[in-house]
Amino acid sequence: MNEYVLPPSHISAYLSAAPLPPWADWPYRVCSPGRVNLIGEHIDYTGGLVLPAAIDYNIYFAARPLEEAVWKLHAVDLGETIEVPLPLTGPTPKLWANYLVGIGVQFQEQGHQLSGLEVVFGGNLPNGAGMSSSAALEGGMAFLLNELLGAGLTRPILAAICQRSSNNFLGIPCGVMDQFASLNGSPDGPIILNCHTLTSEPVRNEIRGYTFLLVNSKVSHDLSDGAYGQRVAECQRALEVVHATFPRINHLSATLPDQLSVVVDQLDEVARKRASYVVEENRRVSQAVIALEAGNAREFGTLLNESHAGLRDCYEVSCPEIDFLQHTAMELEGVAGTRMMGGGFGGCTINLVRDDQIATFKETLTEAFEREYGITPEFYPVHLTAGTRFI
């Protein structure tokens, strides 16, 4: 998804460093979290159900108004700065700045007059782990501008603005899940989000004695550059066939299994595989909510495994390294289930691991992955947090 990823650091530490940096007393400070998606992968842009959560890896912003008609943007971790004159007119030469400028353009298009602003940001989101640092960057900027302009927009509307910026300004055909989860997360549990209606409900995690643990393969294949857009187009192709027979279906995730079976022979092989995955993954999300609230780790783990098989075989967005991590993990005691997480072709697996087996899980998986690929994986326990907020 061409996601902009910040190197690990922590702007909150800068704010209290000695000597104090110049932005330590700036009036606006925002924390914008990354996200994980427990299940419901690659179906947000088909209007599907997803089960994401905001987590305690974040991007931090400090900002102050300026008298002059310019935005001064500082990427602290990259050591880069850019000045952009107002009004905003188009992309800049720097990708990271475009995530911020694109949000400003969306507010301009809604009739808001932007004023001068200076922003610094940095974060501790792990590099390349698929925790949606780009969504945290967009959501944090949208949250900040909403306050500065007194726009009064709700968090779901801010998420939609972020998606529109990604789609129209950056040219990334993403869904809304990442931005929505970052802006609307809760420390009490994940949310089930309907990506077609932008309605969400909190979900109680009653599974006890287990931890969701991310394993970062530290692998990113170049194949992913155009594959995301291809999957969007393939799903659209399948939708056109479904819609021709069932006109009330205007997003692929609304398709029922029986309806898909009626038109399956009209689909080309690729579109058939993508549609089959989408329909089944939506079913799995609904079942996962029931399993989570019932405290059924075994059932939830089974759904994770089924999701990975679908992503690997029908959606074809996995890779050998991720498949190795998933297969090896499932051979270990205390692992209820595991799957790839994120856009694919690398990044992380998400694993439901019994607490008393976490140390053994890490040790065994590290040894196996180093032996097979010469790479030392990284592990991140998932701790849920609130969505984007002022510090």
Catalytic hit among 178, 188, 313, 323: 178
268 domain residue, yes or no: no
Given a cut of 80, whether residue 256 has pLDDT beyond it is yes
**Where residue 179 sits, what CATH number does that domain have?**
3.30.230.10
Closest residue by Cα to residue 135 from 39, 49, 37, 225: 37
What is the band of 175 on the pLDDT scale with cuts at 50, 70, 90? confident
pTM above 0.85, yes or no: yes
Given a cut of 90, whether residue 23 has pLDDT beyond it is no
186 domain residue, yes or no: yes
Given a cut of 80, whether residue 166 has pLDDT beyond it is yes
CA angle, 213 then 218 then 223, to 5°: 115
pLDDT score for 144: 97
289 domain residue, yes or no: no
- Encode pLDDT of 184-211 as tens digits: 998 888 999 999 998 999 999 999 999 9
Q: Summarize the confidence of residues 51-63 as an average pLDDT.
A: 93
Given a cut of 90, whether residue 89 has pLDDT beyond it is yes
98 domain residue, yes or no: yes
| Location of structure tokens 């690997």 | 312
What is the band of 391 on the pLDDT scale with cuts at 50, 70, 90? confident
Cβ contacts of 366-372, under 8 Å, gap ≥ 24: 368/324, 368/328, 369/217, 369/321, 369/324, 369/325, 369/328, 372/324
**Mean model confidence pLDDT for the chain:** 91
**Token digits for 177?**
């899940």
Q: Which of 56-70, 91-105, 216-230 has the lowest mean pLDDT?
A: 216-230
pLDDT score for 158: 97
What is the band of 125 on the pLDDT scale with cuts at 50, 70, 90? confident
194 domain residue, yes or no: yes
End-to-end alpha carbon distance in the chain? 29
pLDDT score for 7: 40
319 domain residue, yes or no: no
pLDDT score for 14: 47
pLDDT score for 8: 41
Please tell me the distance from the alpha carbon of residue 270 to that of residue 233, in angstroms, as a whole number: 11
Given a cut of 50, whether residue 9 has pLDDT beyond it is no
pLDDT score for 5: 40
pLDDT score for 6: 39
Q: Summarize the confidence of residues 57-62 as an average pLDDT.
A: 92
The identity of residue 11, as a single letter, is: I
384 domain residue, yes or no: no
Please tell me the distance from the alpha carbon of residue 329 to that of residue 80, in angstroms, as a whole number: 40
Please tell me the distance from the alpha carbon of residue 94 to that of residue 318, in angstroms, as a whole number: 29
Is 122 or 24 the better-scoring residue by pLDDT?
122
Given a cut of 60, whether residue 171 has pLDDT beyond it is yes
What is the band of 244 on the pLDDT scale with cuts at 50, 70, 90? very high
171 domain residue, yes or no: yes
What is the band of 129 on the pLDDT scale with cuts at 50, 70, 90? low
Q: How many domains does the structure of the chain reveal?
A: 1
- Encode pLDDT of 319-376 as tens digits: 999 999 999 999 999 999 999 998 888 889 999 999 999 999 999 999 999 999 999 9
Helix (H) or strand (E) holding 371: helix 358-373
Domain of 32?
Answer: 11-205
What is the band of 225 on the pLDDT scale with cuts at 50, 70, 90? low
The yes-or-no answer on residue 44 being catalytic is no
Give the residues across from 71 on adjacent strands: 84, 117
What is the band of 127 on the pLDDT scale with cuts at 50, 70, 90? low
